[in-house]
Structure 1
Amino acid sequence: MTCKECQQMIPDFLNNYLKPKELKRFIFHVRACSQCYEELETYVIVSLATQVFDENADVSYDIKDLLEKDLNEKENQLRRRKHRIIFLVVFILTFLILDVILTIHWFNA
């Protein structure tokens, strides 16, 4: 992923619009590229400032902490999704194996 692609994805990242594959690539790039991380951080600052002015919200100002928590949560979401897919594949394979065994047993009976 290029920096330009990454920076174009920042609004979608902040609005949770990225698909899992895009999110994985985005997070990987942001973690490795200090320039894109700083760009993301700037977007987060602007977003928080907008919230404060629009809603008079009581918002934490520890930007790095908020950004790290958000990145970590989205990485955890990706891991949970991967585990659900693995579980589903194992379940389906187990079902198919049992079906084959029962079919063989039924024909041999």
Structure 2
Amino acid sequence: MTCKEAEKLIPLFLDDDLDNKDLAEFIEHIDNCPECKEELTIQFLVKTGMQRLEDGNTFNLKQELLILIKDAKKRLKFRRNLFLFSILLELAVVVLMVTVTVLAFTL
């Protein structure tokens, strides 16, 4: 992923609106590109900080951004595991259907 592509995805990331593929590529890029991570930090500070100031809440935006990235990594891992589970479940259904078909013809 290029920096330009990553920067376009920042608003979608902040809104938790990236699919698994884009999220994985975005996180990998952000983890390895200090410039894009800085841009993410700036956009996060502007978006979240302004809202917090309007609400009058106290906040630690740096920590919140780290938590947001960590949570995104957890969600991505969960989505990948769920996808793998669905494949295994489909495979189990196919095996069960083949077994039932074989048993039906042998009886």
Q: Same fold (TM over 0.5)?
A: yes
Cα distance per residue 1:64-104 (max 9 Å; x no partner)? x2111111111111111111111111111111112111211
Instruction: Tell me if the contact between 1:48 and 1:59 (Cα under 8 Å) persists in the aligned partners.
Output: no
Given residue 54 of structure 2, which amino acid in structure 1 is its aligned partner? D
Identity %: 29
- TM-score, normalised to structure 2, is 0.90
- Rounded to whole Å, the distance in 2 between the matches of 1:73 and 1:2 is 23
Structure 2 residue runs without a partner (length 5+):
none
Q: Which has the higher contact order (CA 8 A, sep 6+)?
A: 2
Counterpart of 1:24 in structure 2 is: 24
Instruction: Tell me if the contact between 2:10 and 2:40 (Cα under 8 Å) persists in the aligned partners.
Output: yes
2:49 paired with 1:49:
yes
Instruction: Tell me if the contact between 1:44 and 1:67 (Cα under 8 Å) persists in the aligned partners.
Output: yes
Counterpart of 2:89 in structure 1 is: 91
Matched residue SS, 1:42 = helix
Instruction: Tell me if the contact between 1:3 and 1:36 (Cα under 8 Å) persists in the aligned partners.
Output: yes
Matched residue SS, 1:27 = helix
- Rounded to whole Å, the distance in 1 between the matches of 2:49 and 2:92 is 52
Report the alpha carbon displacement of residue 37 of structure 1 after superposing the two structures with TM.
0.6
Matched residue SS, 2:59 = coil
Count of residue pairs the alignment pairs up: 107
2:88 paired with 1:103:
no
Given residue 43 of structure 1, which amino acid in structure 2 is its aligned partner? Q
Given residue 59 of structure 1, which amino acid in structure 2 is its aligned partner? T
Instruction: Tell me if the contact between 2:41 and 2:65 (Cα under 8 Å) persists in the aligned partners.
Output: yes
Given residue 97 of structure 2, which amino acid in structure 1 is its aligned partner? D
- TM-score, normalised to structure 1, is 0.88
Cα distance per residue 1:6-56 (max 9 Å; x no partner)? 112111111112222111111110001011111111111112331133222
Moved over 3 A (4+): none
Counterpart of 2:58 in structure 1 is: 59
